[in-house]
Amino acid sequence: MSLSKQFIKPGQTIGIIGGGQLGQMMTFSAKETGFRVVVLEPTPNSPAGQVADEQIVAAYDDREALLQLAEKSDVVTYEFENIDYEALKWLREKAYLPQGAELIKITQDRIMEKQALTEAGVEVAPYAIIESREDLELAISKIGLPSVLKTSRGGYDGKGQYVIRSQHDLESAAELLKNGLCVLEAWIPFEKEISVVMTRSLSGGLSYFPIGENIHVNNILHQTIVPARISEEVDRKVSELARKVANHLDLVGTLAVELFLTKEEKIYVNELAPRPHNSGHYTIEACNLSQFDQHIRSVCGWPLQNVELLQKAIMVNVLGQHVEAVTCEIPNRPDWFIHFYGKEEAKHNRKMGHVTVLTNDIDETLRELDQTKIWS
């Protein structure tokens, strides 16, 4: 039987742009299936580089390094979206890049992302494109307060955005305009933040992981509760919404859709992440395969597996300030699945690892985690 060139066999090499924890966990999945892995990452001894067969130490837009990655790899993927679009488009001519470059172009620009989501037929918060202080004042008069000003490009974990609650905040918010185009969004009075991680195959097959309920602290994801405490109707609507987005974007690989859910069960898409996502880490222990396993299957041309939730779970991020306390808890917590990423410096608010707890009682486990005082 002849195999398609899009089918990557065990023993062949996967190239990953980005050497962080997502790349590390992709590498774990790839190595389990018998692939070789080469990582391109400017930071020496990166989390992914520590477990890959090879790390190319260079900037993500270094053409010579990208060419080296292409020559060493049978397929190339990426672990984050802040990659130079032009460099990725250039790489597509040199390497097999099943995800393409266009999805990166869309998701790294909030304006393009909102336009694409609207075209896909899903709802986003009312917004306006802001170029100047005058634009900002005019948009606020239409959208109202509170609202959120965000830079069009860059920004994560709450960076590059400013919540405008009154006219007194305009001066500070307008500082963001120094970074270029911005977007003003209406403030959505959400009841819950939820997300769905999905994977689409080369042939268009679509697979969803259970919807997670996300709790943020200081704009950084703190906990993901699975399954999300939502109605069956919301679950159905989210799955349909995700299908529209994936098909409109001609997705290959894994995509996370972050959403706001209001008390009236209205759903707004907040943003997209064209890769495995922090809120999907629970899948490593709680599902029959992880988001990383499914992503590797997709970009390598393997059929997607049916997803099953084996047990309810809570995932908690471990930031720099939590490392010591979590480490001290290891002897007392045989039921905790503890992941540390191998980052050299435990900086405040830097994601250093995560803990997943499988449970039959979400509320009781939330209380137990709270009682440790690690995250308070």
Per-residue pLDDT tens digits for 68-107: 999 999 999 999 998 999 999 999 999 999 999 999 999 9
Token pair of 309, please? 């939730």
- Confidence at 154, pLDDT banded by 50, 70, 90: confident
With pLDDT > 90 as the criterion, what percentage of the chain qualifies? 95
d(CA 247, CA 185): 25
Q: Does the structure show a pLDDT above 80 at 211?
A: yes
Res 273: pLDDT:
96
d(CA 372, CA 99): 42
pTM over 0.75? The answer is: yes
**Mean pLDDT, the chain, as a whole number?**
96
Q: Does the structure show a pLDDT above 60 at 355?
A: yes
Non-local (6+) Cβ contacts of 2 within 8 A are none
d(CA 371, CA 107): 38
Taking the CA atoms of residue 36, residue 42, residue 45 and residue 50 in that order, the dihedral angle to the nearest 10 degrees is -20
Burial label, 244 (beta-carbon count in 10 A; 0-12, 13-18, 19+) = middle
Q: Does the structure show a pLDDT above 50 at 1?
A: no
- As a whole number, mean pLDDT of residues 318-336 equals 98
- As a whole number, mean pLDDT of residues 154-182 equals 87
Which range (122-136, 146-160, 256-270, 300-314) has the least confidence? 146-160
Which range (13-27, 144-158, 281-295) has the least confidence? 144-158
- As a whole number, mean pLDDT of residues 251-257 equals 98
- Confidence at 155, pLDDT banded by 50, 70, 90: low
Tens of pLDDT, residue by residue over 56-67, are: 999 999 999 999
Q: Does the structure show a pLDDT above 50 at 311?
A: yes
Non-local (6+) Cβ contacts of 103 within 8 A are 249, 251, 255, 274
Q: Phi then psi for 353, rounded to 5 degrees?
A: 175, -170
Q: Does the structure show a pLDDT above 50 at 2?
A: no
Domains along the chain with CATH numbers? 13-97 (3.40.50.20), 126-186 (3.30.1490.20), 190-371 (3.30.470.20)
Res 4: pLDDT:
67
Res 160: pLDDT:
87
